[in-house]
Structure 1
Amino acid sequence: MNILEQIINFADQQIYIKRWSVGVNQQAPIILLHESLGSVELWKAFPEKLAATTQRDVIAYDRLGFGKSSPLAQLNLNFVTDEASSTFQQVLQHFQLEQFLVMGHSVGGGMAAVCAGVYPEQCRAVITASAQTEVEDVTLAGILKAKHSFNNEKFIGRLAKFHGDKAQWVLNAWTDTWLSPTFVDWNINDQIRQIHCPMLVIHGEQDEYATLAQPQRFVDLAAGETELQILKDCGHFPHQEKETEVLNLIHNFIKDI
């Protein structure tokens, strides 16, 4: 397997991208969108295993403000829906992708869903893991707890291994945005209704940031065929906690796409 790392320029900013290539392959690649504290490197071994399991190229990138991409002054309150027409669009153009599959974890799952609706002719399938579709009380409670327990030198030091001197900004961007009173009515219901491609929705039964109403909303609202998989004894990180099961679910879901 070939692994390619690149920096591309976008509006005087830089985007870090990593691609796991399985060789000469005409199948649409899978693009990964990370979570609120995430980065390319925080996907750990999952992208390589996903490429090997599905025999498709896998592409992951650091959103602006995260990982090895350029810093961001502020996280726009519309950042989930804006991603499809900003950095994600630049990645599509860079690789000249006529077709793709997209997978996102947590808030990245919401972004993946939006991307599927924005690019109906190009997106062959969408996969979400622990995706949020709206703000719930349990979401706010979990983030408020994290705001207090994570905001310390030890945790910031751990984040800095992946985000460098942007680590404190990354934590604040997550907690302050979601806990903002102006964000309380946020949802992607209209965007979900625009999804016509097949969708696999993966969610841990014990997710600490969302009830099971969140994954069910994809089933209720999406225009395309949606497969819902609720994983037992699993929290907010299914691709880490139940890695083999998740890889198998994805393989079976996309094998005929």
Structure 2
Amino acid sequence: MPSPSHHTQDLRIDSLHGRLFVRIWSPDRLSPSFDEAPIVLFHDSLGCVELWREFPARLAAVTGKSVVAYDRLGFGRSDAHPGELSVGFVGDEAERDFPALKDALGIREFIAFGHSVGGGMAVHCAARHREHCQALITESAQAFVEDLTLQGIREAKHGFQQDGQLQRLAKYHGDKARWVLDAWTETWLSPAFTDWNLEAEVQRLDCPLLAIHGDQDEFGSALHPQRIAQLTDGPSRVLMLGDCGHVPHREKADVVLQAVVEHLG
């Protein structure tokens, strides 16, 4: 893979309930351009822009496309969330903050790439804005509430009770760290969330889909990418990665980058 050559720009945009932190990686350009559809990244339940690390720069380099990532409200350098997450928070992203991002940056066509719960958000955004979504990549996305997912969350919740663990999260989320952790664990473990799934949204998709998943993912089995790929009306491909856990873009970065390049043609 080529080494990253890019320009980055940080900015803040207004959303309904607060300001969002956004970073744009522009390959071999002095400023971002959305003449071609950018790749929009949707982070996971504990994630933020900084936790994508070097992946967006490498993604911009190998695809030749601008890459946009943002901290959801309550995460990273975005403003605090005004309350608790609703049961419909995954779908809410397609109705609230993502449209604000599109409008503020002047994005018309886009490519959605989501990791973990961000994969579910990418599905919603691709379905809700289907006339503008050119392609969709999900990575370690959950399509429904699986026992394995809940087991992994319970174990992670227990792990965060150990000394220093919450402080590690605070490095990226500041004084919002406790809210970030609770928003993940308490929402997913709530009985009200038991029946959540992506079925209706996936059935509305018609753009090319790549569903990436690690065979050692502690937060979801191979049923998730299979379910997503089987239900979509558009062309789809499942990429199962051997000896890989929940973060393929970190554990198998070269393979993921090459797969995205091939997916986008």
TM-score between both structures, scaled by the size of structure 2: 0.94
Q: Distance in 1 between matches of 2:183 and 2:257?
A: 30
2:36 corresponds in structure 1 to 27
Of 163, 187, 195, which aligns to 2:173? 163
Give the SS at the match of 2:164: helix
Q: Distance in 1 between matches of 2:111 and 2:45?
A: 21
Q: CA deviation at 1:12?
A: 4.9
1:228 corresponds in structure 2 to 238
Read off the aligned partner of 2:12 and give its amino acid letter: I
Residues 32-77 of structure 1, C-alpha deviations (whole Å, 9 max, x = no match): 0000000000000000010001010000000001001111121111
Of 2, 7, 16, which aligns to 1:2? 7
Alignment of 1:184-203 (within 5 A): 184-203=194-213
Q: CA deviation at 1:10?
A: 1.8
Question: In the alignment, does 2:52 pair up with 1:52?
Answer: no
1:109 corresponds in structure 2 to 119
Read off the aligned partner of 1:242 and give its amino acid letter: K
1:76 corresponds in structure 2 to 86
Residues 109-168 of structure 1, C-alpha deviations (whole Å, 9 max, x = no match): 011011111111100000000000100010111101111111334111111111000011
CA gap 1:134/1:228 in 2 versus in 1, 3 angstroms: same
1:209 corresponds in structure 2 to 219
Contact 2:34 2:107 in 1 (8 A): no
Long gaps (5+) in structure 2: 1-5
Give the SS at the match of 2:210: strand
Of 92, 95, 111, which aligns to 2:102? 92
Contact 2:42 2:70 in 1 (8 A): yes
Q: Distance in 2 between matches of 1:223 and 1:148?
A: 40
Q: Distance in 2 between matches of 1:136 and 1:30?
A: 29
Residues 179-227 of structure 1, C-alpha deviations (whole Å, 9 max, x = no match): 0011111111000001100001000011111111111001110111111
Q: Distance in 1 between matches of 2:80 and 2:262?
A: 38
Residues 3-41 of structure 1, C-alpha deviations (whole Å, 9 max, x = no match): 000011223511000000122673210000000000000
Give the SS at the match of 1:113: helix
1:173 corresponds in structure 2 to 183
Read off the aligned partner of 1:172 and give its amino acid letter: D
Long gaps (5+) in structure 1: none
Identity of aligned residues (%): 46
Q: Distance in 2 between matches of 1:11 and 1:218?
A: 30
2:257 corresponds in structure 1 to 247
Read off the aligned partner of 1:180 and give its amino acid letter: S
Read off the aligned partner of 1:139 and give its amino acid letter: T
RMSD: 1.0
Contact 2:15 2:96 in 1 (8 A): no
Q: Distance in 2 between matches of 1:239 and 1:7?
A: 25
Which contiguous aligned blocks of 4+ residues in structure 1 show a shift greater than 6 angstroms?
Answer: none
Q: Distance in 1 between matches of 2:9 and 2:217?
A: 33
